[in-house]
């Protein structure tokens, strides 16, 4: 403490206290963080925000326990405001160098206050996690445990402002809850995310696990689907955060920003037919179609390793943000499994909450079937997705590229989905099932009695194949049009312009799905 007689205005005391806050956990712990190849909390904030825009709140905070008051600068959590690409955002970073980034009462109170204020004023929230969850000494005993500021998970989560969460080290407890609530979550390779750490789990269950086995990026990117994007390192993670926010409005009162991508709205897709195989059974790379249809360089795929039978992505169409849902014939022939239904449902909710029009590209033989799908509650996953699509109010544009069978036809924006615009390519194959399978079921008796079943089967097959083509549906006004594949981009842009209305307000959702869970 500075002698008041020598510092009558308290300025020297203020300087010392601020300096102590910037020291964080001290030189040794900061060096340990550098040796791991990781940024410290303040460096992360500087990297994600525009240079020189950070304004910190609660920098003079510390623990409310006398024994740790002098060991907890900012109480281990750094919170404040800055700008990202010129737009305001609130940031929260765990300081792993202060008591392992654990959350004490003062820190939790500061985070809650930051979140509440961000939502009240309409600013996005970015959280950078690297912490051990609840600070144990603060919570030992009934009184301590019950007076720790808390709220039920998701209590104030209504997707009014975008929330991006980062897993940047070993994260247990709070950062894990945040991931489950976030709109988009990014995990850095080498980090871990779990409910409890390996030591607690071993004591509780006897199970011995490494952090990577417990909650590494491959587990969450491939198996749980809790992670949307994987980053190589801290710097890459924070670049991804900035990229994600560029697609989203600051809050739900606004439409997403329109960006000049320099890509012509009149560009035709002259080579798109070269990508497509001549037969329905051959796979192709749907990513190549997506890259050509949407503005060049604008596609950011989410959850690419989680049930890749369905591709979901942010993209831009003539500068406007859209949410892309596309079958992936290279995985299960595009048959959607339980994971695909989960990520589609979550993305429908996100798009509908932030006024992001949806674009669906069909090439699916239906839903993935079998014992594994049934064990993962496939009927529930399908019906949850169907319900979300029925409740959504943001515009939906749907293009049948090739196969579109069964109920998956509807969950990709087909008949019954009330799409704003539903069209097909001339070779589209639309039915309850593939023609060869349908012939075997519908004409089984006739084929069994036929003298020449192979010839009769060929006749029936040609008949059903013709029925599956889009011409009858277009003639009966069940399709809005059949389009030249090379004009897909131009047609989508024109349809989006119509859906936007004369003042752009046609893109505004009623946000009926804003309160739905982030994952299912």
Q: Residue 318 maps to which CATH number?
A: 3.90.226.10
Are residues 406 and 453 both part of a single domain? no
Tell me, yes or no, whether 222 lies in a domain. yes
Tell me, yes or no, whether 257 lies in a domain. no
Token pair, residue 177, equals: 């809850």
Tell me, yes or no, whether 477 lies in a domain. yes
Are residues 490 and 463 both part of a single domain? no
Are residues 282 and 367 both part of a single domain? yes
CA distance 100 to 389: 43
Are residues 195 and 75 both part of a single domain? yes
CA distance to 32, 188, 486, per residue, from 35 (Å): 5, 16, 52
CA distance 495 to 312: 20
Integer-rounded Cα Rg, in Å, for the chain is: 27
Tell me, yes or no, whether 255 lies in a domain. no
Are residues 127 and 73 both part of a single domain? yes
Are residues 348 and 490 both part of a single domain? yes
Are residues 291 and 181 both part of a single domain? no
Domain span at 138:
11-247
Tell me, yes or no, whether 261 lies in a domain. no
Question: What does each of the 520 residues of the chain score in pLDDT, given as a tens digit?
Answer: 667 778 888 899 899 999 998 999 999 999 999 999 999 999 999 999 999 999 999 999 999 888 888 899 999 999 999 999 999 999 999 999 998 888 888 988 999 999 999 999 999 999 999 987 777 667 777 777 776 666 544 445 689 999 999 999 999 888 888 998 999 999 999 999 999 888 888 888 888 988 899 999 999 999 999 999 999 999 999 999 999 999 999 999 999 999 999 999 999 999 999 999 888 788 999 999 999 999 999 999 999 999 999 999 999 999 999 999 999 999 999 999 999 999 999 999 999 999 999 999 999 999 988 898 899 899 999 999 999 999 999 999 999 999 999 999 999 999 988 999 999 999 999 999 888 888 888 888 888 888 898 898 899 889 988 999 999 999 999 999 999 999 999 999 999 999 999 998 999 999 999 998 765 5
Tell me, yes or no, whether 216 lies in a domain. yes
Are residues 386 and 310 both part of a single domain? yes
Are residues 102 and 19 both part of a single domain? yes
Tell me, yes or no, whether 253 lies in a domain. no
**Structural domain count of the chain:** 3
CA distance 12 to 485: 71
Are residues 223 and 153 both part of a single domain? yes
* Residue where a domain stops, chosen among 214, 230, 247: 247
* Residue where a domain stops, chosen among 247, 282, 313: 247
Are residues 307 and 169 both part of a single domain? no
Are residues 195 and 286 both part of a single domain? no
CA distance 80 to 91: 6
- Encode burial over 3-41: b for 16+ CB neighbours within 10 A, e otherwise: eeeeeeeeeeeeeebeeebeebbeeebbeebeeeebbbb
Residues 335/304, Cβ–Cβ less than 8 Å: no
Tell me, yes or no, whether 515 lies in a domain. no
């Amino acid at each position: 403490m500075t002698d008041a007689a020598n510092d009558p205005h308290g300025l020297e005391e203020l300087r010392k206290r601020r300096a102590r806050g910037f020291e964080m956990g001290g030189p040794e712990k900061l060096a340990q963080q550098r040796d791991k190849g990781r940024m410290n909390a303040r460096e992360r904030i500087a990297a994600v925000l525009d240079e020189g825009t950070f304004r910190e709140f609660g920098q003079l905070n510390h623990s409310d326990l006398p024994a740790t008051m002098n060991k907890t600068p900012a109480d281990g959590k750094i919170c404040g405001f800055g700008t990202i690409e010129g737009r305001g955002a609130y940031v929260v970073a765990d300081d792993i160098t202060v008591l392992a980034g654990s959350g004490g009462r003062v820190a939790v109170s500061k985070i809650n206050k930051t979140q509440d204020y961000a939502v009240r004023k309409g600013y996005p929230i970015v959280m950078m996690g690297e912490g051990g969850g609840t600070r144990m000494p603060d919570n030992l005993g009934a009184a301590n445990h019950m007076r720790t500021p808390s709220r039920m998970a998701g209590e104030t989560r209504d997707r009014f402002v975008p929330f991006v969460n980062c897993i940047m080290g070993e994260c247990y407890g709070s950062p894990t809850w945040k991931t489950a609530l976030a709109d988009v979550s990014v995990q850095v390779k080498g980090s871990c995310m779990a409910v409890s750490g390996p030591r607690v789990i071993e004591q509780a269950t006897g199970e011995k696990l490494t952090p990577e086995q417990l909650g590494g990026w491959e587990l969450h990117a491939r198996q749980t689907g809790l992670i949307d994007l994987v980053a190589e390192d801290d710097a890459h993670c924070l670049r991804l955060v900035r990229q994600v926010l560029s697609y989203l409005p600051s809050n739900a009162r606004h439409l997403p920003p329109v960006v000049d991508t320099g890509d012509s709205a009149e560009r035709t897709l002259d080579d798109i037919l070269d990508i497509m195989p001549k037969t329905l059974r051959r796979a192709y790379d749907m990513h190549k179609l997506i890259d050509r249809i949407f503005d060049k360089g604008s596609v950011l795929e989410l959850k690419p390793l989680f049930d890749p039978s369905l591709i979901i992505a942010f993209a831009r169409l003539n500068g406007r943000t859209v949410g892309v849902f596309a079958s992936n014939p290279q995985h299960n022939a595009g048959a959607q499994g339980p994971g695909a239904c989960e990520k589609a449902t979550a993305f429908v909710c996100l798009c509908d909450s932030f006024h992001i029009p949806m674009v669906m590209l069909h090439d699916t033989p239906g839903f993935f079937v079998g014992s594994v799908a049934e064990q993962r509650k496939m009927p529930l996953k399908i019906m949850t997705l169907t319900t979300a699509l029925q409740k959504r109010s943001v515009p939906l544009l749907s293009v049948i590229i090739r196969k579109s069978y069964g109920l998956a036809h509807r969950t990709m924006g087909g008949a019954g989905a009330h799409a704003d615009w539903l069209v097909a390519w001339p070779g589209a194959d639309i039915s309850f099932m593939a023609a060869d399978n349908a012939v075997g079921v519908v004409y089984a008796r006739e084929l069994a009695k036929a003298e020449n079943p192979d010839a009769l089967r060929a006749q029936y097959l040609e008949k059903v194949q013709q029925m599956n083509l889009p011409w009858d549906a277009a003639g009966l006004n069940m399709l809005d049009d059949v389009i030249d594949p090379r004009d897909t981009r131009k047609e989508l842009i024109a349809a989006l312009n119509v859906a936007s209305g004369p003042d752009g307000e046609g893109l505004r959702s009623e946000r009926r799905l804003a309160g739905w869970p982030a994952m299912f």
